Amino acid sequence: MNMLNDIERVLVTKEELEEKVQVIADKIAVDYEDKNPIFLGILKGSFVFMADLMRKINIYCDIDFMAVSSYGNRATTSGAVKINKDLSQDIEGRHVVIVEDILDSGVTLSYLKNYLMNRNPASIAICTLLDKPARRKADIKADYFGFDIPDEFVVGYGLDYAERYRNLPFIGVLKPEIYSE
Protein backbone atom coordinates (compact mmCIF):
# COMPACT_ATOMS: atom_id res chain seq x y z
CA MET A 1 0.00 0.00 0.00
CA ASN A 2 1.36 3.42 -0.98
CA MET A 3 0.92 6.15 1.65
CA LEU A 4 0.63 8.77 -1.11
CA ASN A 5 -2.84 7.35 -1.79
CA ASP A 6 -3.88 8.73 1.63
CA ILE A 7 -3.03 12.32 0.64
CA GLU A 8 -5.87 14.47 -0.68
CA ARG A 9 -3.51 17.15 -2.03
CA VAL A 10 -0.13 18.77 -1.48
CA LEU A 11 -0.48 21.94 0.54
CA VAL A 12 3.20 23.01 0.71
CA THR A 13 5.78 21.64 -1.72
CA LYS A 14 9.31 20.54 -0.91
CA GLU A 15 10.66 23.60 -2.75
CA GLU A 16 8.39 26.00 -0.83
CA LEU A 17 9.53 24.41 2.43
CA GLU A 18 13.20 24.87 1.55
CA GLU A 19 12.69 28.54 0.66
CA LYS A 20 10.66 29.33 3.79
CA VAL A 21 13.07 27.57 6.15
CA GLN A 22 15.88 29.76 4.76
CA VAL A 23 13.83 32.92 5.35
CA ILE A 24 13.09 31.90 8.95
CA ALA A 25 16.73 30.95 9.57
CA ASP A 26 17.94 34.31 8.27
CA LYS A 27 15.56 36.22 10.59
CA ILE A 28 16.55 34.18 13.62
CA ALA A 29 20.27 34.53 12.87
CA VAL A 30 19.92 38.32 12.82
CA ASP A 31 17.79 38.45 15.98
CA TYR A 32 20.04 36.10 17.98
CA GLU A 33 23.49 37.08 16.74
CA ASP A 34 25.87 37.08 19.75
CA LYS A 35 23.16 35.61 22.05
CA ASN A 36 24.07 31.89 21.82
CA PRO A 37 20.46 30.69 21.98
CA ILE A 38 19.26 27.21 22.82
CA PHE A 39 17.03 25.77 20.12
CA LEU A 40 14.53 23.48 21.79
CA GLY A 41 12.97 20.98 19.40
CA ILE A 42 9.64 19.48 20.37
CA LEU A 43 9.68 15.82 19.45
CA LYS A 44 8.71 14.12 17.38
CA GLY A 45 7.03 16.45 14.91
CA SER A 46 9.68 19.18 14.75
CA PHE A 47 12.66 16.96 13.98
CA VAL A 48 12.68 17.39 10.17
CA PHE A 49 12.00 21.15 10.30
CA MET A 50 14.54 21.66 13.08
CA ALA A 51 17.26 19.69 11.27
CA ASP A 52 16.80 21.79 8.14
CA LEU A 53 16.58 25.02 10.17
CA MET A 54 19.77 24.27 12.12
CA ARG A 55 21.73 23.61 8.94
CA LYS A 56 20.78 27.09 7.71
CA ILE A 57 21.50 29.07 10.89
CA ASN A 58 25.06 30.35 11.03
CA ILE A 59 25.33 31.57 14.63
CA TYR A 60 26.64 29.87 17.76
CA CYS A 61 23.84 27.96 19.43
CA ASP A 62 22.95 24.90 21.48
CA ILE A 63 20.32 22.31 20.70
CA ASP A 64 18.10 20.35 23.05
CA PHE A 65 14.87 18.41 22.77
CA MET A 66 11.72 17.76 24.72
CA ALA A 67 9.03 15.19 24.02
CA VAL A 68 5.60 16.59 24.77
CA SER A 69 2.25 15.17 23.80
CA SER A 70 -1.39 16.14 23.85
CA TYR A 71 -2.66 14.23 20.81
CA GLY A 72 -1.67 10.57 21.17
CA ASN A 73 -3.12 8.73 18.17
CA ARG A 74 -6.00 11.16 17.78
CA ALA A 75 -6.69 13.89 15.26
CA THR A 76 -7.50 16.51 17.92
CA THR A 77 -5.76 17.49 21.13
CA SER A 78 -6.91 15.92 24.38
CA GLY A 79 -6.09 19.18 26.18
CA ALA A 80 -3.93 17.31 28.69
CA VAL A 81 -0.23 17.97 28.13
CA LYS A 82 2.26 15.27 29.09
CA ILE A 83 6.04 15.77 29.20
CA ASN A 84 7.65 12.51 28.09
CA LYS A 85 11.24 13.84 27.92
CA ASP A 86 12.44 16.98 29.65
CA LEU A 87 15.38 19.25 28.84
CA SER A 88 18.89 18.02 29.48
CA GLN A 89 20.38 21.55 29.81
CA ASP A 90 19.91 24.37 32.28
CA ILE A 91 18.21 27.32 30.56
CA GLU A 92 18.49 29.88 33.34
CA GLY A 93 19.63 33.17 31.82
CA ARG A 94 19.62 31.69 28.29
CA HIS A 95 17.65 32.70 25.22
CA VAL A 96 15.38 29.82 24.23
CA VAL A 97 13.80 29.31 20.82
CA ILE A 98 11.13 26.62 20.92
CA VAL A 99 10.98 24.88 17.53
CA GLU A 100 7.65 23.25 16.77
CA ASP A 101 6.08 21.75 13.67
CA ILE A 102 2.64 23.34 13.99
CA LEU A 103 0.87 25.87 16.18
CA ASP A 104 -2.67 24.51 16.23
CA SER A 105 -4.83 24.85 19.35
CA GLY A 106 -1.89 26.43 21.17
CA VAL A 107 -2.62 24.36 24.29
CA THR A 108 0.68 22.47 24.22
CA LEU A 109 2.87 25.49 23.41
CA SER A 110 1.14 27.70 25.97
CA TYR A 111 1.65 25.06 28.65
CA LEU A 112 5.25 24.51 27.59
CA LYS A 113 6.13 28.20 27.54
CA ASN A 114 4.74 28.67 31.07
CA TYR A 115 6.53 25.52 32.23
CA LEU A 116 9.86 26.78 30.87
CA MET A 117 9.42 30.33 32.22
CA ASN A 118 9.71 28.85 35.72
CA ARG A 119 13.34 28.02 34.87
CA ASN A 120 14.19 31.73 34.44
CA PRO A 121 15.42 31.93 30.84
CA ALA A 122 16.49 35.32 29.46
CA SER A 123 13.76 34.98 26.83
CA ILE A 124 11.54 32.45 25.12
CA ALA A 125 10.52 32.69 21.47
CA ILE A 126 8.38 30.31 19.45
CA CYS A 127 9.33 29.20 15.97
CA THR A 128 6.79 27.06 14.14
CA LEU A 129 6.69 25.89 10.57
CA LEU A 130 2.90 25.95 10.33
CA ASP A 131 0.33 28.18 11.97
CA LYS A 132 -3.34 27.15 12.02
CA PRO A 133 -5.05 30.14 13.70
CA ALA A 134 -8.59 28.82 13.10
CA ARG A 135 -8.01 26.13 15.77
CA ARG A 136 -6.52 28.38 18.47
CA LYS A 137 -7.77 27.76 22.01
CA ALA A 138 -4.88 29.37 23.91
CA ASP A 139 -3.74 32.98 23.61
CA ILE A 140 -0.34 32.37 22.03
CA LYS A 141 1.42 33.45 18.85
CA ALA A 142 4.58 32.37 17.10
CA ASP A 143 7.48 34.80 16.90
CA TYR A 144 8.67 33.06 13.73
CA PHE A 145 6.47 31.00 11.44
CA GLY A 146 6.48 29.67 7.94
CA PHE A 147 2.97 29.23 6.61
CA ASP A 148 -0.57 30.07 7.70
CA ILE A 149 -2.63 27.03 6.83
CA PRO A 150 -6.36 26.32 6.69
CA ASP A 151 -8.18 24.16 9.21
CA GLU A 152 -7.33 20.84 7.58
CA PHE A 153 -5.46 17.82 8.91
CA VAL A 154 -1.92 17.95 7.54
CA VAL A 155 0.94 15.45 7.54
CA GLY A 156 4.46 15.17 6.17
CA TYR A 157 7.81 16.86 6.81
CA GLY A 158 7.75 15.51 10.38
CA LEU A 159 4.01 15.85 11.03
CA ASP A 160 2.15 12.62 11.56
CA TYR A 161 -1.11 10.89 12.08
CA ALA A 162 -0.73 7.86 14.37
CA GLU A 163 3.07 7.93 13.77
CA ARG A 164 2.68 7.68 9.99
CA TYR A 165 3.52 10.08 7.13
CA ARG A 166 6.40 11.91 8.90
CA ASN A 167 8.74 10.94 6.07
CA LEU A 168 6.83 12.72 3.30
CA PRO A 169 9.02 15.50 1.81
CA PHE A 170 6.05 17.92 1.58
CA ILE A 171 3.07 19.02 3.68
CA GLY A 172 -0.05 17.23 2.51
CA VAL A 173 -3.70 17.26 3.48
CA LEU A 174 -4.72 13.84 4.77
CA LYS A 175 -7.93 12.40 3.36
CA PRO A 176 -10.63 12.67 6.07
CA GLU A 177 -11.56 9.01 5.78
CA ILE A 178 -8.08 8.09 7.04
CA TYR A 179 -8.34 9.88 10.40
CA SER A 180 -12.08 9.58 10.96
CA GLU A 181 -12.06 5.76 11.03
List pLDDT tens digits, range 79-97: 678 899 999 999 999 999 9
Domain architecture of the chain: domains with CATH: 16-149 (3.40.50.2020)
52 is catalytic: no
Single out the catalytic residue among 6, 52, 101, 104.
104
Percent of the chain with pLDDT over 90: 86
**pLDDT above 90: residue 124:** yes
Query: 12-65: per-residue pLDDT in tens?
Result: 999 999 999 999 999 999 999 999 999 999 999 999 999 999 999 999 999 999
Q: HEC string of the chain? A: CCHHHHEEEEEECHHHHHHHHHHHHHHHHHHCCCCCCEEEEEECCCHHHHHHHHHHCCCCCEEEEEEEECCCCCCCCCCCCEEEECCCCCCCCCEEEEEEEEECCCHHHHHHHHHHHCCCCCEEEEEEEEECHHHCCCCCCCCEEEEECCCCCEEECCECECCECCCCCCEEEECHHHHCC
Percent of the chain with pLDDT over 70: 93
Model-level pTM? 0.92
